[in-house]
Amino acid sequence: MKIAVLPGDGIGPEIVAQAVKVLNALNLDINMTEAPIGGAGYEASGDPLPDATLKLAKESDAVLLGAVGDWKYDKLERHLRPERGLLRIRKELNLFANLRPALLYPELASASTLKPEVVSGLDIMIVRELTGDIYFGQPRGIFKLENGEREGVNTMRYNESEIRRIGRVAFDIAMKRNKKVCSVDKANVLEATELWRQVMIELSAEYPEVELSHMYVDNAAMQLIRAPKQFDVMVTGNIFGDILSDEASMLTGSIGMLPSASLDENNKGMYEPSHGSAPDIAGKDIANPLATILSVAMMLRYTFNDEANAQRVENAVKKALAQGYRTADIWTEGSNKVGCNAMGDAVVAAL
């Protein structure tokens, strides 16, 4: 297993160090190589995605990323900013499938803004298409009309093969879970998503065991708050997935708990926490490393097909929480407040 380790900026190095500790504790045959990205890439070689980092990522089976970004780079030209490195590496690696689980650990039910009975036991997987849709469709731009008025244009478009490959990811994941897929679209108004629905229905013939349902995106946004436990796997396009996955993340209370995976067609993947580089708490040893550690579990499951070790890592996180260890973002009265490094140690001890 060859893993490119890209800690990035802000709390990135702190949280990635904990995930690396967990990977090492598994005693697997792993080859990890570290490289700079984001602001760290810019500092090292004037580029948020240095050539050597991209080369390493391409040659690796998986990428473990911390986070990128710091306010101090906000004045740089757009193409030199840390976030550009992230967008470029996703595109270069052709990572079209973004997997964002929203899972609530029973110990953290009180951390959600929703009533505990609505969210406890929540376990949703949102599968978002990441390289198409209105974010990439042409034509796009701000144009001048004949009457002198300006017009902003973006184009929502999906072709069959793009829909089919993301659909396949969702159905395959559902087969390993509760065998339910809810496809989210706006087929009543948007032709691009009418085709989306047709292709999902065609694809479902290959997965007779999976129950496919459809939901309009406005209703899905409402149902996620009203009764989120009705969902198992949700699959949707880039823009709807962007919005719904952020909505779903808040069901679970803390962004410090949420991992993510972005996969290509061969299950090569980039694994990272859903949160950013949190420059406000960087270097203080108070960040929550669990989203990054749980991203390692996703790496074992989706790229290395090692379900047993994925579950070992997830169970170790559950055990550390059950033992009362909490970083500041998830701390409640009576639990044991620890720092980033000590939380990593607690997970390793639980392993």
- Of 86 and 203, CB closest to ligand NAD: 86
Residue from 23, 173, 287, 313 in contact with ligand NAD (CB under 6 A): 287
Q: Does 344 bind ligand NAD (CB under 6 A)?
A: no
The residues in 54-113 that bind ligand NAD, with binding defined as CB under 6 A, are 67-70, 83, 86
> Residue 49: phi, psi to the nearest 5?
-130, 85
As measured in angstroms, the least distance from the Cβ of 125 to ligand NAD is: 19
* DSSP designation for 22: H
Q: Does 329 bind ligand NAD (CB under 6 A)?
A: yes
Active site (annotated) includes residue 242: yes
- Of 215 and 270, CB closest to ligand NAD: 270
Q: What stretches of 136-237 show up as alpha helix (H) in DSSP?
A: 160-175, 191-204, 217-226
As measured in angstroms, the least distance from the Cβ of 286 to ligand NAD is: 7
Q: Choose the stretch contacting ligand NAD; rule: CB under 6 A; options: 26-34, 226-234, 281-289, 296-304.
A: 281-289
- Of 36 and 256, CB closest to ligand NAD: 256
Active site (annotated) includes residue 218: yes
Q: Does 294 bind ligand NAD (CB under 6 A)?
A: no
153's CB contacts (< 8 A; 6+ apart) are 139, 140, 141, 142, 143
Active site (annotated) includes residue 123: no
Residue from 174, 278, 310, 317 in contact with ligand NAD (CB under 6 A): 278
Query: 333: how many CB neighbours lie within 10 A of its CB?
Result: 4
As measured in angstroms, the least distance from the Cβ of 278 to ligand NAD is: 4
As measured in angstroms, the least distance from the Cβ of 150 to ligand NAD is: 28
As measured in angstroms, the least distance from the Cβ of 177 to ligand NAD is: 25
**Cα distance between residue 226 and residue 212, in whole Å:** 20
**Cα distance between residue 261 and residue 304, in whole Å:** 13
Active site (annotated) includes residue 345: no
Both tokens assigned to 333: 């009265």
**Cα distance between residue 176 and residue 158, in whole Å:** 27
**Closest residue by Cα to residue 70 from 40, 46, 50:** 40
Q: What stretches of 96-190 show up as alpha helix (H) in DSSP?
A: 116-119, 160-175
CB-CB contact of 111 with 253 (8 Å): yes
The residues in 12-31 that bind ligand NAD, with binding defined as CB under 6 A, are 15
Residue from 25, 225, 255, 348 in contact with ligand NAD (CB under 6 A): 255
Distances (CA, A) of 243 to 141, 239, 246: 22, 7, 5
Total residues interacting with ligand NAD, rule: CB under 6 A: 22
CB-CB contact of 19 with 67 (8 Å): no
Q: Does 49 bind ligand NAD (CB under 6 A)?
A: no
Query: 184: how many CB neighbours lie within 10 A of its CB?
Result: 29
Both tokens assigned to 236: 């949707």
291's CB contacts (< 8 A; 6+ apart) are 15, 255, 256, 257, 258, 259, 273, 274, 275
Residue from 275, 295, 321, 326 in contact with ligand NAD (CB under 6 A): 275
Site string for ligand NAD, 158-197 (x = CB under 6 A): ----------------------------------------
Number of H helices, E strands in the chain: 12, 14
Active site (annotated) includes residue 29: no
As measured in angstroms, the least distance from the Cβ of 112 to ligand NAD is: 16
Q: Does 288 bind ligand NAD (CB under 6 A)?
A: yes
> Which chain residues interact with ligand NAD by CB under 6 A?
11, 15, 67-70, 83, 86, 255-256, 272, 275-281, 287-288, 291, 329
Give the residue numbers marked as catalytic.
Answer: 135, 186, 218, 242, 246
